[in-house]
Amino acid sequence: MQQLPKVLKNRRGVAPLLAKFGMPSEVYTPVKIPLLAQALGPCCMLIGVLIIGSYVQYTQVLFGWWLWWQAAVVPLVGALWIMIGIWFILGPVLRQRVYVIVCPNGLIYIKGKAEGIPWETIRILWKNTQTPHAKSKEVLPYIGKIQCKNEAFFLLKQDINAVERLVQRIEREVVRHVLPEAIALYNKGMLAPFGDIAVDQEGVHLKQKAAVLPWNNIEHIGINQQMVSIYKKGEYWDWATLAVARIPNVAVLKSLIMYAQQEHAKEPLLRMIATYNAGSALHFGSITISRRGVDFGKNSLAWSEIGGIDIGEHEVMIKRPSSIWGESEWEVFPIRTIPDAQLLKGLVDYVLQDRPR
């Protein structure tokens, strides 16, 4: 409790939630009202008083020749200035300000009353990180929006200090809790939805196009702070672009796409392993892999004579048995002569790992 601002120490409901969620690691407080904004209220009221005072003092001199309804506008303008000043003064006081306490087991969200949000109950996080100059049809009134299992919503706005850092902290927990469920859906062959975009073993589905882009046709998927851009192989322009602010759990989507791409990349290697296990030879330029071992040119090495394989920036290196001096020897091949060098390495690593010790 000593770490909390004074305004929260005696706030009803905070202490029991801290006992439940653990010691706070971060406390996010409301943004302080700028001095200029604090001065606006008294200044507006002063202007209103001066207008009304001048009207009362100099009615006959300045306004005697006006029509009565014209003169009546002057004190109304003064009263309007006073009301604006009162609004500037009382608005921040009457408005419920938001405090957020980050604990090991969840968040404590305080807006009038204190509410506990366990990490595992957060199902969806929307992010809105558009810059003021970004083109957008809609200005969203938040930086982050949380939706829990019980459909409760919590908004994180610019009136919270370091709100972007808070959203990033929440996002890490959302990925930790939601990503395993999304991967499980993917592995079962089911669709993992993210608003207007969805992912499964077939590829990336887009609601607005009512189409799917298979993984083997995807050149690149870029996800930055504002946009998700999907590029199709053989096309210069992006196949689709979506605003991050409209995609729930965009960090989970990014991690799931990386997982899917890694899984998809394994398929050629699995086919090569199946071919190898069937007894067929596989050719990688000047290198041939078979059940006997590795053949290159007129030379060959049995699997028992191979210590490993490595890929450098310009060459592929196969480790041979140590010489009589105890130093390792390497067969070196220019990488330009070895197509699919990474697949070659994966196949050799598989055979070496599987051979008897």
209 and 259 share one domain:
yes
Secondary structure (3-state) at 313: coil
Quick check: is 130 in a domain?
yes
Distance from C-alpha of 235 to C-alpha of 220, rounded to nearest angstrom: 11
179 and 195 share one domain:
no
142 and 217 share one domain:
no
pLDDT in tens, the chain (357 residues): 556 777 787 788 888 999 999 988 899 998 887 677 678 888 988 998 898 888 787 776 666 667 777 778 888 998 999 898 888 777 766 677 899 999 999 999 998 889 999 999 999 999 987 544 444 455 567 899 999 999 899 999 988 999 999 999 999 999 999 999 999 999 999 999 999 999 999 999 998 888 899 998 988 888 888 899 999 988 888 999 999 998 999 999 999 999 998 888 788 888 899 999 999 999 998 899 999 999 988 888 888 888 888 888 788 888 876 544 445 578 888 888 888 888 888 899 899 887 655
22 and 106 share one domain:
yes
- For 86, the domain range is 35-94
Say how many domains are in the chain: 4
Quick check: is 1 in a domain?
no
The position carrying tokens 């996080």 is: 125
149 and 218 share one domain:
no
Of 147, 166, 183, which one is at a domain's C-terminal end? Answer: 183
Quick check: is 164 in a domain?
yes
Q: Position 124: which residue type?
A: I
Q: What is the pLDDT of residue 324?
A: 44
Q: What is the pLDDT of residue 136?
A: 47
129 and 14 share one domain:
yes
Q: Is 115 exposed, middle or buried (0-12, 13-18, 19+ CB in 10 A)?
A: middle
Quick check: is 71 in a domain?
yes
110 and 168 share one domain:
yes
Q: Residue 156 in contact with residue 140, Cβ under 8 Å?
A: no
Record the tokens describing residue 238, joined without a space: 């992006």
Quick check: is 273 in a domain?
no
Quick check: is 218 in a domain?
yes
CA dihedral 271, 272, 274, 279 (to 10 degrees): 150
